[in-house]
Structure 1
Amino acid sequence: MRPLRYSINITLDGCCDHRAGMADEELHQHHARNLAQADALLFGRVTYQMMEDAWREPAETGVVPEWAEPWVMPFVHTIHAARKYVVSSTLDHVDWNAELLRGDLRESVQALKREPGKGIFVGGVTLPFALAEMGLIDEYEFVVQPRIAGHGPTLFAGLSKYVDLKLVGRHELGSGALALRYVPKG
Structure 2
Amino acid sequence: MQPLRYSINVTLDGCCDHRTIGPDEELHRHAVENLERADALLFGRVIYQMMEAAFRPQPGVEAEARPDWMAPFARTIDAAKKYVVTSTLDRVDWNAEIVRGDLEKAVQQLKQQPGRGLFVGGVQLPMALAEMDLIDEYEFVVHPIIVGHGPTLFAGLAKYVDLKLVDRLELGSGAVAMRYEPRRQPSAC
Matches within 5 A, 1:122-137: 122-137=120-135
Name the CA shift for 1:132/1:73 in 2 (closer, same or farther; >3 Å): same
| Residue in 1 that maps onto 2:187 | none
| Residue in 2 that maps onto 1:90 | 88
Q: Which ranges of structure 2 fall in alignment gaps of 5 or more residues? A: 185-189
* 1:120 shift after superposition: 0.4
| SS of alignment partner, residue 88 of structure 2 | coil
Task: Provide Cα deviations, 1:128-154, integer angstroms capped at 9, x if missing partner.
Answer: 010001000000000001111111201
Percentage of pairs with the same residue: 70
In 2, Cα distance between the equivalents of 1:61 and 1:17?
30
| Residue in 1 that maps onto 2:79 | 81
| Residue in 2 that maps onto 1:29 | 29
| SS of alignment partner, residue 173 of structure 2 | coil
| SS of alignment partner, residue 94 of structure 1 | coil
| Residue in 2 that maps onto 1:118 | 116
* 1:65 shift after superposition: 3.2
Task: Provide Cα deviations, 1:92-143, integer angstroms capped at 9, x if missing partner.
Answer: 0001100001110000000000000000000000000100010000000000
In 1, Cα distance between the equivalents of 2:134 and 2:154?
14
Aligned partner letter, 1:37: R
Segments of 4+ in structure 1 off by > 6 A? none
RMSD: 0.9
| SS of alignment partner, residue 34 of structure 1 | helix
* 1:87 shift after superposition: 0.3
Aligned partner letter, 2:147: A
